[in-house]
Structure 1
Amino acid sequence: MRWDALSRLVRLSLARERRGAFFSAFGVAMGVGTLVFFIGLGLGVGQVIREKIFPTDARLVDVVPSSVSLGSLLGGGQLDAAAVERLRALPGVEAAYRKMNVRVPAVTRYDGVFFGTRLRMGMEVLALGVEPELVKGDVQLGEFKDPSEGQPIPAVVSTRLLELYNKTFAPARKLPQLSAGMIVGFGFPVEFNRSYVSSSASGPSRSMQTQVVGASDRAMFAGITIPLETAIRINREAGVDAENYSGLTLVATDPSKVPALVDAVKAMGLEIDDQERRMAENTGAAVALTTSALALLSILICVLAAVNIAHALSASVRARAREIGVMQAVGASRSDIRAIVLAEASVVGLAGGAIGTAVALAASFGVDRFASGYLPNFPFKPDSFFSFPWPVVLGGVVLGLLAALAGAYFPSRRAAATDPARTLAG
């Protein structure tokens, strides 16, 4: 059967069965729209978790000393210079970045103008020293290195800490909200080996000026990140451990090398600090489970839509039995009859899939507008809670088509099996 003849017959049939076609397309649109909406929501929330709340790099392995292990009792499990060299020599390691906590307490007391607002505040400060190469891509001012005498200590702050400040701390205390670019160059004093709540080390306390030079996802979350040599110098001056490192970040040549590196690290009596990675995986799994449950409900709606299409087409085939018999009598083959029924279902399925996908996109836009206008500005609030890559959009339309064809399969076979002689004879 020629394409123009087939399309004309389909248009005439759908025009005659407008009511049934409408309800069939509506059922498909409901199932497809619900499925696309919840998949987009799950992908969007998962993206926020991976990129903003728990940003992780699949190639990074964070090594920390073992707290209590047989290896540490026998002299292993420490991150000294020798252990660092052994870790750097492991197969699959591209780079290794040392870290050392400032092992004395520190406080800051700020009294002055804070971005146009008068601020007087004192608080405890945690500091972590890292090798400059670990955060060099996020340093926007000067060089990230141990400063000379009289120069401020360069410090990098966490982008997540800045987000929490903007969304919780600043509104509660009527302080200005800040961007990563605004804080570059901001200076504040830090007094090391001094604390408001705990005892200090035996060495002297020392007050130093600190200057923010950037914000990074790799910076210490609840504190400031300073050059490694500066942390070593502060620990040495305070008379505390300045030889053993607090951590080591290994960069694998490929994510596939990470499991072997983890096993090698544990064999050396060391541990892996994967707390954030596990939290990201657990949160992502919870989102995926919820999305899967809602997607299953949507698929069930699509199945019901396919059943409805099968019922409607079966009734249509019975009502058009004489018409089908006439077409067969004048030369229409069984494949032609089957093609007519499947083409009718295809139009209904494509229309339902396209409408359902469009409604899902419109609904997601409405939810984002509502969230932007009425939900509080909470931490890590995204511009959009949804993500619709093109396979999801195209998949919604294709799913509508497949649901309709599945529903039309048996009615099309029944129509093709019509005996024209018996039908026309009544």
Structure 2
Amino acid sequence: MRLSALARLVRLSLARERRGAFFSAFGVAMGVGALVFFVGLGLGVGRVIREKIFPTDASLVDVVPPAVSLGSLFGGGKLDTAMVERLSGLPGVEKVYRKMNVRVPAVSRYEGAFFGSRLRMGMEVLAVGVDPGLVSGDVQLGEFKDLGPDQPIPALISTRLLEIYNKTFAPARKLPQLSSQMLVGFGFPVEFNRSYVAQPAAGPTIPSQAQVVGASDRALLAGITIPLDTAIRLNRSANVDAETFTGVTLVAADPSEVPRLVSAVKEMGLEIDDQERRLAENAGAAVTLTTSALALLSILICVLAAVNIAHALSASVRARAKEIGVMQAVGASRSDVRNIVLAEAGVVGLLGGAIGTGVALGMALVINRVATRYLPDFPFKPDSFFSFPWPVVLGGVALGLFAALAGAYFPSRRAAAMDPARTLAG
């Protein structure tokens, strides 16, 4: 049977069975639309978790000393220069970046102009020194290096800390919202080895001036990130440990090398700081579990739609038995009859899948606009709560087609198996 003749017969049949075709397409659209909507929501929320809340790099391994170290008795546990050299010699390690906390408390007492407002505030400050190469791409002013005791300390702030400030702290204190570019060059005083709540070390207080040179995802979340040489100098000036490192970041040549590096690091008596990675994985697992449950419900709706299509087509085949018999008597083959029934279902499935997918995309657009207009600003609020990559969109339409064809399989076989002589005889 020619394609044009098949299309004409399908069009006439669907026009005659408009009511049944409408409800069949509606069931498919409901299931496909719900599935595409919830999958897009899960992908969108997962993207926010991975990219904004807990940004992680699959090629990085953060090494820290063990919480309880038995030292050299078992061949490890101390993260000093010799241990860093051993780590850099591990197969698969491309680069090594050292970290050292400033091991004395620090405070910042600021009073003066703050981007058009007056600010008077004192707060505890945490500081960590890192090798410049780890954050060099985020430095926007000068060089990220120790400039000496009488010069400002280059400091990076966390992009996540800036987000939290803009969405919670600034509105509560009626302070201006800031961008990382606005903060570049901003200076503030920092007194090391001084604290409002903790006991300082025995060494002297070290008054300093910090200057923001950029914002980075790799910067300390609740504090400032400064050059490693500066942290070493401050620790020496305060007469505290300036020889052992707080952590080391290994850059793997390939992400596939990470599991082997983790095993090698643990054999050396060290530990892996994967807290943020685990938090991201746990949050992602919760989103995936919820999305999977809702997707399963949507697939169940599609199954019910397929059953409805099977029921409707079975009734249609019985009602059109004489018509099918006439077609067979004038030369239609069994495959022609089967193709007519499958084509009818395919058109219904394609329309239902396309309509359901379109409705899901439209609902996502409406929800995003409502959220943008009516939801208050909160940290890490995304521009869109949804993500619809093309496989999801095309998969929705394909699912509608598959559900309809699955429902039409048995009715089409039954129609093709009819005996025209017996059907026409009575």
Q: TM-score, normalised by structure 2?
A: 0.99
- The count of corresponding residues between Structure 1 and Structure 2 is 426
Percent of aligned pairs with the same amino acid? 81
Structure 2 residue 201 is matched with structure 1 residue 207: no
Verify the 8 A CA contact 1:72 1:269 in the aligned structure 2. Answer: no
Q: How many Å separate the matches in 2 of 1:88 and 1:27?
A: 60
Kept in 1: contact 2:75–2:269 (CA 8 A):
no
Q: Which position in structure 2 is the counterpart of 1:330?
A: 330
SS at match of 2:182: coil
Cα distance in 2 for residues equivalent to 1:353 and 1:108: 60
Query: Gapped runs of 5+ residues in structure 2?
Result: none
> How far does residue 73 in structure 1 lie from its aligned partner after superposition?
5.4
Matched, 1:242 2:242: yes
1:19 CA displacement: 0.3
CA contact (8 A) 2:75 2:268 kept: no
SS of match in other structure, 2:283: helix
> For the residues of structure 2 that align with 1:323 and 1:356, how far apart are their CA atoms?
33
Report if the CA contact (8 A) 1:33-1:396 is conserved.
yes
Task: Summarize the Cα distance change of 1:317–1:295 in structure 2 as closer, same or farther, 3 Å threshold.
Answer: same
Instruction: Look up the match of 1:31.
Output: 31
The whole-number CA distance in structure 1 between the counterparts of 2:182 and 2:356 is 44
Separation in 1, partners of 2:88, 2:362 = 52
User: In structure 2, what is the equivalent of residue 271 of structure 1?
Assistant: 271
Alpha-carbon distance, 1:98 to partner: 0.0
Output the amino acid matched with 1:287: V
Q: Decide whether aligned partners of structure 1 residues 28 and 72 sit closer, same or farther in structure 2, where only a CA change above 3 A counts.
A: farther
Structure 1 ranges of 4+ moved more than 6 A = none
Provide, for residues 75-108 of structure 1, a one-character-per-residue CA deviation record: whole Å limited to 9, x for no partner: 6201000000000000000001000000011000
1:196 aligns to what?
Answer: 196
Distance (Å, rounded) in 2 between the aligned partners of 1:72 and 1:283: 38
State the match for 1:145 in structure 2: 145
Please tell me whether the aligned partners of residues 158 and 219 of structure 1 are also in contact (alpha carbons under 8 angstroms). yes
Contact 1:71 1:268 in 2 (8 A): no
Q: Which amino acid aligns with 1:377?
A: D
Query: 1:343 matched to which residue of 2?
Result: 343
- Determine the C-alpha separation between the residues in 2 that align with 1:53 and 1:370: 22
**Alpha-carbon offset, residue 67 of structure 1:** 1.5
Once the two structures are superposed, residues 182-235 of structure 1 have per-residue CA deviations (whole angstroms, 9 ceiling, x without a partner) of: 111111000111111111111111111110000000000100000000000000
- Preserved CA contact (<8 Å) 2:55 2:217: yes
For residues 28-52 of structure 1, give each alpha carbon's deviation from its aligned partner in whole angstroms, at most 9, with x where no partner exists: 0000000000000000000000000
* Alpha carbons of structure 1 residues 7 and 104: separation in structure 2 relative to 1, 3 Å: same
Match of 1:154 in 2: 154
Instruction: Give the Å deviation of 1:150.
Output: 2.8
Whole-angstrom distance in 2 between the partners of 1:71 and 1:102: 22
The whole-number CA distance in structure 2 between the counterparts of 1:72 and 1:161 is: 38
Match of 1:218? 218
Quote the Cα distance in structure 1 between the aligned partners of 2:75 and 2:340. 80
Look up the match of 2:354. Answer: 354
Instruction: Note the C-alpha offset of 1:70.
Output: 3.9
Paired position in structure 2 for 1:119: 119
* Paired residues of 1:349 and 1:404 also in contact (CA < 8 A): yes
Deviations, residues 271-308 of structure 1 (Å, cap 9, x unaligned): 00000000000000000000000000000000000000
CA distance in 2, matches of 1:122, 1:340: 79
Counterpart for residue 134 of structure 1? 134
Amino acid at match of 1:222: A
Checking the alignment, whether the CA contact within 8 Å between 1:66 and 1:72 is kept in structure 2 is no
The residue that corresponds to 2:366 in the other structure is 366
TM-score, scaled relative to structure 1: 0.99
Q: Alpha-carbon deviation of 1:148?
A: 3.1
Determine helix, strand or coil for the equivalent of 1:181: helix
Aligned to 1:100: 100
Which sections of structure 1, spanning at least 5 residues, go unmatched? none
**Once structures 1 and 2 are overlaid, which stretch shifts more, 361-370 or 73-82?**
73-82
1:44 maps to what in 2? Answer: 44
**Are residues 1:307 and 2:303 paired?**
no
Query: Contact 2:76 / 2:268 at 8 angstroms: preserved in 1?
Result: yes
* C-alpha displacement of 1:69: 3.9
- Counterpart of 2:252 in structure 1 is 252
CA distance in 2, matches of 1:246, 1:73: 20
Q: Secondary structure at the match of 2:62?
A: strand
Say if 1:106 and 1:126, in contact at 8 Å, map to a contact too: yes
3-state SS, counterpart of residue 91 of structure 2: coil
Distance 1:163 1:24 in 2: 48
The Cα of 1:74 is off from its aligned counterpart by 4.6
Equivalent residue, structure 2, for 1:177: 177
CA distance in 2, matches of 1:184, 1:57: 25
Distance (Å, rounded) in 1 between the aligned partners of 2:251 and 2:214: 22
Report the counterpart of residue 66 of structure 2 in structure 1. 66
Residues 1:4 and 2:34 are matched in the alignment: no
